[in-house]
């Protein structure tokens, strides 16, 4: 026997069979919604690519990781040839940003494509001097940024900066 049913959601189902196998209007809506959502859902095919532009990493992290069109850089400090550069916060900030620019370039990006930085500082009183150098590296736009004061950084650094950039 066939009959028409109406649910509270005002969905009309014509010729729905009755009995144990019959779908109510509400159940039919749930099934349709699941089918629609499954068909619309995108499956992420982005794969993490761990970049090592200088060969095998010296420390237990990758300098950069690319996922899709986003490049995640590990925090960088103002070291050159394995030692911090002398000259205080200005020299360290300059070398840190040079290190970042080098990794970005070797990974297919640039400072112009940086969208977010996080700055870690050993002494927040050095903020104005760090900012003066930082600003000279971002001439086209200023990325979003967060900053934190710390009680210590790797190798006794005064500043560490990590970035996110677009690539591709």
Grouping H, G, I as helix, E, B as strand and the rest as coil, residue 131 is helix
pLDDT of residue 46: 82
pLDDT of residue 9: 42
CATH number for 137: 3.30.1330.40
Q: Say if residue 106 is in the same domain as residue 146.
A: yes
Grouping H, G, I as helix, E, B as strand and the rest as coil, residue 153 is coil
Q: Which pTM value belongs to this model? A: 0.73
Q: Say if residue 62 is in the same domain as residue 139.
A: yes
Range of the domain at 24: 2-40
Q: Say if residue 74 is in the same domain as residue 129.
A: yes
Q: Say if residue 82 is in the same domain as residue 152.
A: yes
Q: Which of 85, 87, 78, 71 is nearest to 143 (CA)?
A: 71
Grouping H, G, I as helix, E, B as strand and the rest as coil, residue 118 is strand
Q: Say if residue 122 is in the same domain as residue 156.
A: yes
Q: Say if residue 112 is in the same domain as residue 139.
A: yes
Chunked into runs of 10 residues, the chain (168 residues) has average pLDDT values of 44 46 50 49 76 90 96 96 94 98 97 98 97 97 97 95 96
Q: Say if residue 18 is in the same domain as residue 100.
A: no
Residue 15 and residue 3: Cα distance in Å, rounded?
A: 5
Grouping H, G, I as helix, E, B as strand and the rest as coil, residue 55 is strand
Q: Say if residue 34 is in the same domain as residue 76.
A: no
Q: Say if residue 109 is in the same domain as residue 139.
A: yes
DSSP code for 140: S
Task: Give Cα 128 to chain centroid, integer Å.
Answer: 27
Q: Say if residue 146 is in the same domain as residue 109.
A: yes
Residue 139 and residue 117: Cα distance in Å, rounded?
A: 15
Q: Say if residue 69 is in the same domain as residue 129.
A: yes
Residue 23 and residue 32: Cα distance in Å, rounded?
A: 12
Q: Which of 42, 41, 60 is nearest to 50 (CA)?
A: 60
Q: 92 with 157: CB under 8 angstroms?
A: yes
pLDDT of residue 2: 46
Count of structural domains, the chain: 2
Conformation bin of residue 68: beta by default, left when phi > 0, alpha when psi is -120 to 50: left
């Amino acid at each position: 026997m066939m009959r028409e049913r109406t649910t509270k959601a005002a969905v009309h189902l014509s010729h729905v069979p009755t009995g144990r196998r019959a779908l109510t209007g509400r159940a039919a809506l749930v099934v349709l919604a699941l089918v629609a959502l499954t068909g619309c859902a995108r499956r992420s095919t982005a794969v993490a690519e761990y970049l090592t532009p200088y060969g095998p990493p010296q420390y237990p992290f990758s300098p950069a990781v690319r996922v899709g069109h986003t490049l995640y850089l590990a925090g960088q400090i103002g070291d050159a040839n394995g030692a911090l550069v002398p000259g205080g916060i200005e020299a360290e900030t300059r070398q840190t940003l040079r290190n970042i620019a080098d990794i970005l370039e070797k990974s297919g990006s640039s400072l112009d494509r940086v969208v977010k930085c996080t700055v870690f500082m050993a002494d927040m009183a050095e903020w104005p001097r760090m900012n003066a150098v930082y600003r000279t590296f971002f001439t086209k736009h200023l990325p979003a940024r967060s900053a934190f004061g710390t009680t210590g950084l790797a190798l006794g650094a005064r500043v560490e900066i990590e970035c996110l950039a677009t690539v591709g």
